[in-house]
Chains A and B, each alone.
Chain A
Amino acid sequence: MTLNAWLPVFALMTSLVAALVIFALPEKGYRLRTAVNLGAALVKLGLVVVMVWGVFRGVDYGVSFTMVPGVAFALKADALSMMFATLSAVLWLLTTVYAVGYLEDSPNRSRFFGFFSLCVASTMGIALAGNLFTFFLFYEMLTLSTYPLVVHRGTEKALKAGRTYLIYTLTGGAVLLLAIAWLHGVEGDLPFREGGHFIDADADIHLSLILIFILLVAGLGVKAAVFPLHGWLPQAMVAPAPVSALLHAVAVVKAGAFGIVRVVYNIYGIEASSLLGVLEPLAWLAAFTMLYGSVRALSQVALKRLLAFSTVSQVSYIILGVCLFGPVGAAGGLVHLLHQGIMKITLFFCAGNYAETLGIHRIDDMDGAGRRMPGTSLAFTIGAFGMIGVPPLAGFITKWTLGSGALAANMDWVIAVLVLSSLLNAAYFLPIVHRLWFREPNGSWPRERRWGRLETNAWLFWPPLLTAVMTVVVGVLASLPFSPLSWAELIVLREYSP
């Protein structure tokens, strides 16, 4: 095998090995652990950049071997997988930096960072999986490695949230396994292929294909937090802020959304899915989830729960984009995979900063926090504006592309949903922004900690600012090559004309 075949394996192994090393390190080895964490994150980022360049030029990265009789373990890098891999590599680096600062004196850090790395390794595996079987393997590994992170604090509430999380995700996993096994029984081992497999499927398997599609979406929809399978997400907010950031922006919800993208594009094929008539109902479901999440967000008092419901709403943009038949809408959905990740992680970092520095967990306590923490609040404002879709930020690009896609696909009702959803976004984000900057602080903060020159710990300060800058940059420079939008267009180009 050539080096090219091994690159995906290396990308996977960096965080896997990092996890094992971290588990083995003593609790007190603070510097060494941080070095291993950041080193692995940088190495992985490097590998991903190399692969992105390679995939752009059309290099084939892939390795596969027979694992169980009849099915292969396959890793493969295509344009779509590189999109997700880049997202997780970049955000992992930032989240690691953030987490090092956030968990400075808390117990069980070896365990935390070990599982954190395992979680990223699973995400990488999900990105690079070459067939549904391999995808499932890492999908379940993700469930297992996030559980210890969700219950990290070890309180009754955390353990209860962990239980809810497991009940949802493991049941979803079982449904997914059923669907994959059934599909395997119908058609054998199906590698992810541009254009899909079922464009000329016999009419007599159409019914089974539709049923399998429903099961697949149900299984993946749990992680993607599609209504009515979203119940675990707001509860999982008891986890430490970096974990919430990771769960929401990169790993878990995106794994679900990414899986749905894979199923529609690379298993069924967009044309076959459209022919089977499964896209339209899914689009309706996604549209409903978008509105439902936003409406629920309106009534939240805790900041992180509000962000959680906002995630429920935002992830469905991706699914909606996938369901719009036509290249433009598809690009809009895919690009949101990255955009939502960057914006949401900004917001969660900021929420974590408010909690850690000022002890703020509730929205009522945020009055005037902008003056005490201008940097963080600026980042928060950019993230929130991005979510609302203010031009020229990342969210605007998504909504614009989705809207054009909907028109092209003759699904005009989507425009109405987009407008309504943006209004709702504004309705729950603008009051917070207003509180931050234009209200007087009401007395002292719940629990303030002083840091030196900066408004907060430097490890906590820079990551949200950086992601806020990225939110602006990916919006302004959307038309340049290698921007998320151009990359999404590249993917779509390859999907629609395989």
Chain B
Amino acid sequence: MTLWLMAGLLFTPLAWAVLTLLTDFARGRLVTWGGILVQVLVSLGLWLTVARDGGFYYGLGGWDAPLGIELRVDGLAVTFVLLTAVVASACGWHAGIYIDPDKPWHRYFWPLFWFLWSGLNAVWLGDDLFNLYVGLELISLSAVGLVALGGKASALRASLRYLLAALLGSLAYLLGVALMYGQFGTLSIAGIASWLTEHPVPAGSGLALALMIAGLALKTALFPLHQWLPPAHGIAKSPVSALLSALVVKASFYIAARLWLELGEPLGNLVSAQLVGLLGSAAVVWGSWLACRQLQLKQVVAYSSVAQIGYLFLLFPLTYSVSESVSLQAQQGITLQVISHALAKAAMFLAAGNLILSVGSSRVDALAGVSRFLPFSLFSFGLAGVSLMSLPPSGGFAAKWLLLQASLESGQWWWVLVLLVGGLLSAAYVFRIFRASFLESPESDQFYHPARSLEVIPMILALLALGLGLVSEQVLSVMALPFEVEGSP
């Protein structure tokens, strides 16, 4: 049973990728929609297995580490697998209707989509540092390809920038991996952690961790390394932007978070933890500020991603040399933030795509009057915005509440200010869009009405993000102990 589930998660996406590579857009869509069904069922199956029996290690094909590929299947990983299944199927469904099938290069959307999906699953489940690197590269390369699908020179420029940033980040990470292996002789994070509990910390091994986290921060677009993100996310097709903002940046953050939680205590230090938190805060403020100033709708949403990613990095200071309970609160808060941002941002990009399709322009001020013609999409946008503003009852609010508690309890009250100011700034850019669309302008009657299903998809995602807050206790209890190893290798 487990064998089939694991194979279904990691290898069938590759099979779908190859299949869709061979056909045209319409047939690729058919294969994909079938494939989505299979993937959702498999992800759900694995999630149920873990929810029932708890997490476990799994050696792929019976080969164990270090030569075989070992997977770590715990509550957190399967939750992210399921999240990926939800967001990616929504984006795949949306893309099948949204993307113009007549442009010949658009047929490559499907294989790239599937490569991305399998890369994501590999990262969530991966356990050793090098396999994580391979998964990360698979994600980056297919994401770059997806951005380039726009076809125009501007899209290619954005994708090239993205590619160069991603490659630099990967190499920094890989160099860190090489140093780690040279030092500790193992690639398993848990292995390194247990080595460190028995031996004194070797000098200079903090450098390897710093290199890895810096590389991953570049790929996650942490301020001030974020410049590649807004052009890439802003110019891509809406379903692609949704995938990138919701899932791709989370993959590199996930690895950074796991590294920090296992190795941060012995290898990190207080200054670096606070520094990362400070950069995250700067991202929150600067990203929101720039989001308020963008003229293009999708750029607003893209800069909002920069800001929301900033919150994630508060994990570093809030889990360094604090009590168990504070650390747990911070981890739970960040996990909720990852999930709710993924759902809300995907919803927002898809809704923004609908709005742009409807008014025929991507400028914010072209939205005047759209509240009357496309209230449904605008409403989805707003509901997603509620989660980004972290107002109740959304998942974003639950996340913020936990982070507030963690900051207050650990006495790091300065993050409280960041959380509160960040919420207000995000309200500023979300309501800016509403302000533009509530304006009644008589000359605007040139509206195109997108297909109903295009409008339904973002609504579903937005409602999930909104409802997450109400069931966050349940969601977190399934993860049991986030980022914690259950069982032993």
Contacts and interface: CB of A to CB of B under 8 A. Distances in A.
A181 B469 contact: no
A144 B416 contact: no
Contacts, number: 90
A454 B13 CA distance: 71
Nearest to A71: B401
Interface in B431-449: 431, 434-435, 438-440
A71 B427 CA distance: 25
A410 interface: no
A67 B427 contact: no
Interface stretch (A169-177, A393-401, A413-421, A459-467): A169-177
B342 interface: no
Interface stretch (A31-39, A148-156, A354-362, A441-449): A148-156
B435 A163 contact: yes
B379 interface: yes
Contact of A140 (B375, B392, B402): B392
Interface in A156-200: 156, 159, 162-163, 166, 170-171, 173-175, 177-178, 181-182, 184-185
A159 B438 contact: yes
A154 B439 contact: yes
A181 B401 contact: yes
B329, B408, B438 pick with most chain A CB within 10 angstroms: B438
B473 A67 contact: yes
A67 B409 contact: no
Interface in B383-403: 386, 391-393, 397-398, 401-402
- Chain B CB within 10 Å, residue with most, of A73, A144, A171, A184: A144
A166 B427 CA distance: 9
A173 B420 CA distance: 10
Interface in B353-405: 371-372, 375, 379, 386, 391-393, 397-398, 401-402, 404-405
A69 interface: yes
A12 to B, nearest CB: 12
B157 to A, nearest CB: 36
A58 interface: no
A67 B398 contact: yes
A177 B404 contact: yes
B391 A140 contact: yes
A4 interface: no
B42 to A, nearest CB: 30
Nearest to A166: B431
B332 interface: yes
A380 interface: no
Nearest to A73: B470
A378 B107 CA distance: 73
A177 B408 CA distance: 13
A137 interface: yes
B404 A181 contact: yes
Interface in B473-487: 473, 476
A475 B286 CA distance: 56
A23 B379 contact: yes
A71 B472 CA distance: 11
Contacts of B472: 67-69
B401 A144 contact: no
A181 B398 CA distance: 12
Contacts of B10: none
A69 B402 contact: yes
Contacts of A64: none
Interface string A126-160: 00000000001100110110011001011110010
A181 B392 contact: no
A174 B424 contact: yes
B420 A68 contact: no
B458 interface: no
B75 interface: no
Contact of B408 (A23, A69, A171, A182): A182
A33 B408 CA distance: 47
B424 A154 contact: no
Contacts of A136: 392
Contact of A137 (B393, B416, B427, B438): B393
B392 A141 contact: yes
Nearest to A24: B376
A107 B372 contact: yes
B379 A68 contact: no
Contacts of B409: 185
A282 to B, nearest CB: 24
A296 interface: no
A476 to B, nearest CB: 42
A148 B438 contact: yes
A141 B394 CA distance: 11
B423 interface: yes
A144 to B, nearest CB: 7
B476 A69 contact: yes
Nearest to B473: A66
Contact of B402 (A68, A154, A155, A173): A68
The residue among A71, A170, A174 with the most chain B CB atoms within 10 A of its own CB is A174
Contacts of A166: 427, 431
A68 B398 contact: yes
Nearest to B392: A137
B430 to A, nearest CB: 10
Contact of A68 (B372, B401, B427, B439): B401
Closest 10 CB pairs of A and B: A154-B440, A137-B392, A181-B404, A185-B408, A174-B420, A68-B398, A66-B473, A140-B391, A170-B427, A154-B438
Interface of B: 329, 332, 371-372, 375, 379, 386, 391-393, 397-398, 401-402, 404-405, 408-409, 416, 420-421, 423-424, 427, 431, 434-435, 438-440, 469-470, 472-473, 476
6 contacts: A23-B379, A67-B470, A69-B329, A140-B392, A181-B404, A184-B405
Interface of A: 23, 65-71, 73, 107-108, 110-111, 136-137, 140-141, 143-144, 147-148, 151, 153-156, 159, 162-163, 166, 170-171, 173-175, 177-178, 181-182, 184-185
Given A154-B371, A166-B427, 11 more contacts: A69-B402, A108-B371, A151-B435, A155-B440, A162-B438, A163-B435, A170-B424, A173-B391, A175-B420, A182-B408, A185-B409
